[in-house]
Amino acid sequence: MAVLKRGSIVLALLFCIAFKPFHHGWANYDQEKTLDYVGTIQEAVYENPHTTAKVKNKDKTWLVILAPVSRMTSRGVTANMLKKGATIQVVGYPHKEVGDEMRAERIFINGNKFELR
User: Considering Cα of 81, then 97, then 93, then 66, what sign does the dihedral take?
Assistant: positive
- Which tens digit of pLDDT belongs to each residue from 17-40? 444 444 456 799 999 999 999 999
The pTM (predicted TM-score) of the whole model is 0.79
Q: Over 80: is that where the pLDDT of 1 sits?
A: no
Q: How far apart are the two ends of the chain, measured CA to CA in Å?
A: 42
Number of alpha helices (DSSP H) and beta strands (DSSP E) in the chain: 2, 6
- CATH for 2-115 is 2.40.50.140
Q: Does the bond joining 21 to the residue before it have cis omega, within 30 degrees of 0?
A: no
Mean local confidence (pLDDT), 96-110: 97
Count of residues making up the chain: 117
- Which tens digit of pLDDT belongs to each residue from 50-98? 999 999 999 999 999 999 999 999 999 999 999 999 999 999 999 999 9
